[in-house]
Amino acid sequence: GDEEVPAGAVAVLTTCSVDVLSHSAVRARNGGVLFATCYDPDILKTLADADGAPMSVTVKGDDVAWEAVDASTIHGATHAGTGASGRGLVPAGIKLEQIPFCGKFSVPLEEFQAGVVGAKARNTRALNESLGGGKIPDWIRLPRSMVIPFGTMEHILKDPMNKSVAAELAQLTATVDDSSEASLTRTLKACRMCVRSLLPPPDMLDEIEDAMLDAGMEPPESEERWGNAWAALVAVWASKWNDRAFVSLRNAGINHSDLRMSVLVQPVVDADYAFVIHTVNPSSNDESELYAEVVMGLGEVLVGNFPGRALSFAVKKAAAAEAAGGAGGGPPPLS
């Protein structure tokens, strides 16, 4: 479903289970928006009957309470802050720096740095630097990685072989129509289809192949597989014109044309289980506690909030460290 919290919303109530570490839940927390699940039909009916009435909502632990209030009180509180709590919202009119192309089509792990690659890639380098060199057991493997850096798409749009694509994309982006949901979907789709028609400049794929081999990854072994890889790469670039991305930037007051994308390339693990761990419990903001969620299959099942519920647990960092050191005589207690 749509992960974007509607503009102006201060609370979202759903009858579906929501994984705490899913993208939709993270977006709500970052925006200071209450995101709650309710299974009780009587409570839902009570709230539905109050449609249009001003309410004040408070959260204590896992409990949500509400009460009817004077409309002027709500108006004053809304203008005193932003969103539900004044936390985490992007200031309107923020400007992104237009990151230039670094001059090469691939970047190795040791060169992952700000202004060249994104935060996830930089965190991958930090993970390797902090845990590599025999600091962890051999059965725990660190991800092999390389990146196609910021500004690559904009650079190849300037290549003479993509001149017609660049001209068409400029025209399409200038005529994106957000007057209605249908027109926005239609015009953004045209932009994505245009980006998907980009052609790789000479030697670009050779450079990417060399970078993959240097990183310990197996590159595509046939022309057909290279065609699939290129289609996947341009699809990532085209996602800049997804409805969700466009609306998110618009709501934050960010110029869509300023956005640059890098692409982190890693092997996909055919996993039985996937997990996400937060080093601070997002529900309680307890910095002494880890919080994790585990699902069957790949990580998209969790972050995409697929139907069902993740296995979740919390553990105190001190207890985990003690158990890892052998002093605890067993695994740390989970909650």
- Active-site positions read 23
Q: How large is the greatest C-alpha to C-alpha distance in the chain, in angstroms? A: 68
| Positive or negative: CA dihedral 246, 249, 253, 255 | negative
The span from the CA of 330 to the CA of 314, in Å, is 16
The span from the CA of 43 to the CA of 66, in Å, is 11
Torsion of CA 176, 180, 181, 182, to 10 degrees: -80
Of 80, 75, 88, 72, give the one whose Cα is nearest residue 35: 88
Residues near 68 by beta carbon (within 8 Å), at least 6 away in sequence = 50, 53, 54, 55, 56
Q: In what order do the strands lie in the sheet with 289-296?
A: 273-278, 289-296, 311-316
Q: How many other β-carbons are positioned within 10 Å of the β-carbon of residue 242?
A: 15
At 307, which helix (H) or strand (E)? Answer: none
Q: In what order do the strands lie in the sheet with 263-265?
A: 107-108, 146-148, 263-265
Full DSSP string of 251-271: HTT--GGG----EEE-PPP--
Do the beta carbons of residue 246 and residue 186 sit within 8 Å? no
Tokens of 33: 């928006």
At 11, which helix (H) or strand (E)? Answer: strand 11-14
